[in-house]
Structure 1
Amino acid sequence: MRGRPSGAGALRRRPDGKNKKEAGMPTVKETFEAMAGRFRADKAAGTNATIQYDVSGDGGGTWHAVIKDGACTVSAGAATNPNLTLQIAGQDWLDMLSGKQSGQMLFMSGKLKIKGDMGLAMKLGSLFQM
């Protein structure tokens, strides 16, 4: 019977070395590159803040988002004086964005550490379309 491969065949490597399942998942860096485009200005009225993301592990790094006057810019590197800093492992970040894990559960289990404006942290989910 012909059709879609199953078992080991379903995970065949592509020329770039990734299997089909891996190829569809964004990297941590790609999620930050796409973040400004997922910003929901309609939900950000009155929000002016700088948020720093410290992502550890594979593909990790530091990025920061500046939300000001209804616009959002995201850059690599540390922020000078962030209102909020989130610390999270790369895989947990990807799981949170994909919906496999909730930010609340990651926070309660100690896998997401928050420093700074907790009210802003609670609002983040509504500021970005994921």
Structure 2
Amino acid sequence: MSNAIIDAAVAALSTKMEGTDFDGTAKFVIEGEGALIVDGASVRAADDSDEAEVTLSADADVFQDIMSGELNATSAFMSGKLQLDGDMGTAMKLGSALS
């Protein structure tokens, strides 16, 4: 796991989540790097034991493209670049919060 990549991901996602009204829990797994969890508007590094309503998995490039706005999360999911496991409604709320 690369702490630098996870730390940067936590910072980027924290900025995106500021001022949102997301009230669920979501786990982002960045393949080969680690994971982070969003619980409401707070974001932190996660580990395998952290549970969430939805888990989203992608490689670091896809995650970066979603955070930068170059790639829409829904488009990433529909094209198979972003995998989802869990509650689709929570994933949609998170997608709306990140837009």
- TM-score over 0.5 (shorter chain): yes
For residues 79 and 17 of structure 2, the distance between their equivalents in structure 1, rounded to whole angstroms, comes to 27
2:6/2:45 contact within 8 Å kept: no
Q: Which has the larger radius of gyration?
A: 1
- Number of residues of Structure 1 aligned to a counterpart in Structure 2: 95
Map of 1:62 onto structure 2: 35
Higher helix share: 2
1:64/1:74 contact within 8 Å kept: yes
Higher RCO structure (Cα 8 Å, ≥6 apart): 2
Identity of aligned residues (%): 28
Distance apart, 1:80 and its partner CA? 3.0
RMSD: 2.3
For residues 71 and 15 of structure 2, the distance between their equivalents in structure 1, rounded to whole angstroms, comes to 22
Q: TM-score, normalised by structure 2?
A: 0.75
Change (3 A) 1:94 1:85: same
Stretches of 4+ aligned residues off by more than 6 angstroms: none
Map of 2:91 onto structure 1: 121
Structure 1: where are the runs of 5+ without partners? 1-26
